[in-house]
């Protein structure tokens, strides 16, 4: 079984994908620009701007790696682009052939202010700063995926949306697990 979990920053993608993978005994795949920034010792905020300068080759490299990892095993892929990684137009841009399709796709959603509050608490920063950074990141991601793949940012038609506003990560994971069993 292959499960894709995506959504905007602060919706719980990373935490939920880890919980779902653990509960189902599946491999978790979550390799993102944030991971590359950490590997290089660059603050994510700074690296996100650098990624714009090296667009789209950095994105394509990351996404090729994700597709390859997901093609090897049953897994839970939890990234911004996960729900699109089996789409023909994405694979074509990456120069890859379709090797699999996700069995289940979930789009996690919450209003900007809710997501910013979660990020502020997680990262120990003022709410206003988190709000501004999250809004900026949302716009950058929307532009990035549109330019790279022709994707309209937001819930794809073939993914189930889960509003995480009033749910914690455990509740979201439990809902996903119960739906895929």
pLDDT in tens, 19-28: 999 999 999 9
Query: In whole angstroms, what is the distance from residue 51 CA to residue 80 CA?
Result: 15
DSSP assignment, residue 96? -
Average pLDDT of the residues in 23-41:
88
Residue 38: pLDDT over 80: yes
List of long-range contacts for 157-161, beta carbons under 8 Å, 24+ apart: 158/83, 158/105, 159/4, 159/6, 159/83, 159/105, 159/106, 159/107, 160/104, 160/105, 160/106, 160/107, 161/106, 161/107, 161/108, 161/109
Min mean pLDDT across 30-44, 69-83, 103-117 is at 30-44
Nearest to 19 by CA among 181, 140, 168: 168
Residue 164: pLDDT over 70: yes
Residue ranges per domain, the chain?
2-110+154-163
Tokens of 177: 């697990």
pTM of the model: 0.90
Average pLDDT of the residues in 55-80:
90
Tokens of 160: 């189930």
CB 66 within 8 A of CB 77: yes
Average pLDDT of the residues in 71-87:
94
Model confidence at 1, pLDDT cuts 50, 70, 90, reads very high
Greatest Cα pair distance, the chain, in angstroms, is 45
Q: What is the dihedral of CA 16, 3, 34, 39, to 10 degrees?
A: 110
Average pLDDT of the residues in 119-138:
96
* CB neighbour list of residue 134: distance below 8 Å, 6 or more residues apart: 8, 9, 10, 112, 115, 116, 119
Model confidence at 121, pLDDT cuts 50, 70, 90, reads very high
């Amino acid at each position: 079984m292959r499960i894709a979990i995506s959504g905007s920053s602060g919706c719980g993608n990373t935490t939920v994908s880890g919980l779902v993978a653990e509960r189902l005994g599946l491999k978790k795949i979550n390799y993102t620009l944030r991971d590359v920034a950490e590997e290089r010792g660059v603050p994510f905020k700074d690296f996100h701007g650098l990624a714009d300068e090296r667009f789209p080759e950095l994105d394509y490299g990351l996404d090729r790696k994700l597709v390859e990892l997901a093609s090897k095993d049953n897994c839970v892929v939890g990234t911004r682009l996960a729900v699109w990684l089996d789409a023909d137009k994405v694979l074509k841009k990456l120069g890859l052939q379709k090797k699999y399709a996700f069995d289940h796709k979930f789009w996690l959603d919450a209003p900007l202010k809710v997501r910013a509050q979660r990020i502020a608490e997680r990262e120990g920063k003022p709410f206003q700063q988190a709000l501004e950074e999250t809004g900026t990141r949302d716009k950058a991601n929307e532009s990035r995926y549109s330019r790279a793949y022709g994707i309209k940012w937001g819930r794809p038609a073939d993914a189930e949306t889960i509003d995480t506003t009033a749910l914690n990560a455990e509740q979201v994971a439990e809902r996903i697990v119960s739906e895929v069993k």
